A and B are shown apart, each in its own frame.
Chain A
């Protein structure tokens, strides 16, 4: 038996417990879009941003982000370039192939200009290859860490090459609640400070934005379903113990339990951190925190000897991985930007 929308009386598709409302398809979309706009306006996410590289994995978070960015592009005055990376993860599930397909399908549907970066073709390795041979080649980092370094490097590099003002990623509210909690627990202040809707660029880094930071994971999924977005809902085959391992998974589940018991818990937790705690931290830190995108990353960094991208060491983490898996390093030098 159908439940009625609190606003119009049509059949409700979801219950938003933290606002004590039940909403129909139309009013749920409106609710999610309003929260997207309110959150990004409060933290001035789109201020001075004219061109955004939207990093899309093919999952529901980054695809919901893409649709929301696209829907409000003329309101905030930015253009979008899609970026998706074929990481070469297969494991009998065609994980990467299906992810890239879902991303490209949406880029085409929305008529968004896009780039597909094939890790194997561009850089000579795949994530599966690192999992299988990484240790023997002297790469001690876990495969998820190599994957993270690879994605961040490619996003930043292509954003710079495409002349973008910001890279947008689909981190949702549940992700941020988990990262804030675990970084606080571990005392990782430099990581904790990054948990913010907008990080300024500069010094060889593009600004980073998280436009769906205020949407629960359930909301990005509902938004995708209601907009008939075809997303890839497999989990990565290398994720054996959940995102970030057993400890991180446990924290995520406890936070979900708290949300179930006290609706709005994660939203309050994340917003309290962003509004009241982080501002006190940034004043004493190396990274500019005004979020306006014009203050630049204040850590002074050198340049990677191989690729010319910013790096704290002589050779950046990405090039040191590459140098162990491929002999085609000279190619990288000829492709480097030289700034």
Chain B
């Protein structure tokens, strides 16, 4: 299956191929991102690591790291 991912900080959209039944945690692993420092958002609402994604899903990934202030 294929998921469309918008990386908010980089302002870039990428298509990610994942095995069917993959979860948000699998997506983050594939992107090489840690779940303690990223939030995945779907339709404006955050979704947990165990959320099961479906083909054609569109999600956003927001890093939680401080802006430095």
Interface residues of B in 19-67 (CB under 8 A from A): 34-37, 39, 41, 45-52, 54, 62, 64-67
The prevalent SS among residues of B at the interface is loop
Say yes or no for A260: interface residue by CB 8 A criterion.
Answer: yes
- Decide if B67 touches A235 in the complex (CB within 8 Å): yes
Excluding A13-B46, A235-B68, A256-B37, 5 further A-B contacts by CB distance (< 8 Å) are A14-B48, A60-B64, A218-B37, A222-B39, A233-B62
Contact of A57 among B36, B37, B50, B67 (CB under 8 A): B67
- Decide if B69 touches A62 in the complex (CB within 8 Å): yes
Q: How many contacts between A and B, using CB within 8 angstroms?
A: 86
Say yes or no for A189: interface residue by CB 8 A criterion.
Answer: no
CB distance from A175 to the nearest CB of B (A): 7
Say yes or no for A15: interface residue by CB 8 A criterion.
Answer: yes
- Size bracket of the A interface: 35 or more
Residues of A within 8 A of B36 (CB): 216, 218, 256, 259-260
- Decide if B8 touches A233 in the complex (CB within 8 Å): yes
- Decide if A13 touches B69 in the complex (CB within 8 Å): no
Say yes or no for B9: interface residue by CB 8 A criterion.
Answer: yes
Task: Report Cα–Cα, A15/B64, bound state, in Å.
Answer: 15
Task: Report Cα–Cα, A1/B51, bound state, in Å.
Answer: 6
Say yes or no for A184: interface residue by CB 8 A criterion.
Answer: no
CB distance from B41 to the nearest CB of A (A): 7
Binding site for A on B (CB under 8 A): 8-9, 34-37, 39, 41, 45-52, 54, 62, 64-69
CB distance from B10 to the nearest CB of A (A): 12
Say yes or no for A61: interface residue by CB 8 A criterion.
Answer: yes
- Decide if B39 touches A217 in the complex (CB within 8 Å): no
Say yes or no for A243: interface residue by CB 8 A criterion.
Answer: yes
- Decide if B37 touches A217 in the complex (CB within 8 Å): yes
Say yes or no for A234: interface residue by CB 8 A criterion.
Answer: yes
Residues of B within 8 A of A233 (CB): 8-9, 62, 67
Closest B-chain residue to A15, C-beta based? B48
Say yes or no for A44: interface residue by CB 8 A criterion.
Answer: no
Contact of B51 among A2, A25, A99 (CB under 8 A): A2
- Decide if B65 touches A217 in the complex (CB within 8 Å): yes
Contact of A59 among B37, B48, B69 (CB under 8 A): B69
Interface residues of A in 184-214 (CB under 8 A from B): none
Residues of B within 8 A of A238 (CB): 68
- Decide if A14 touches B46 in the complex (CB within 8 Å): yes
- Decide if B66 touches A175 in the complex (CB within 8 Å): yes
Contact with B along A1-45 (1 / 0, CB 8 A): 111000000011111000000100100000000000000000000
Closest B-chain residue to A175, C-beta based? B66
Residues of B within 8 A of A235 (CB): 65-68
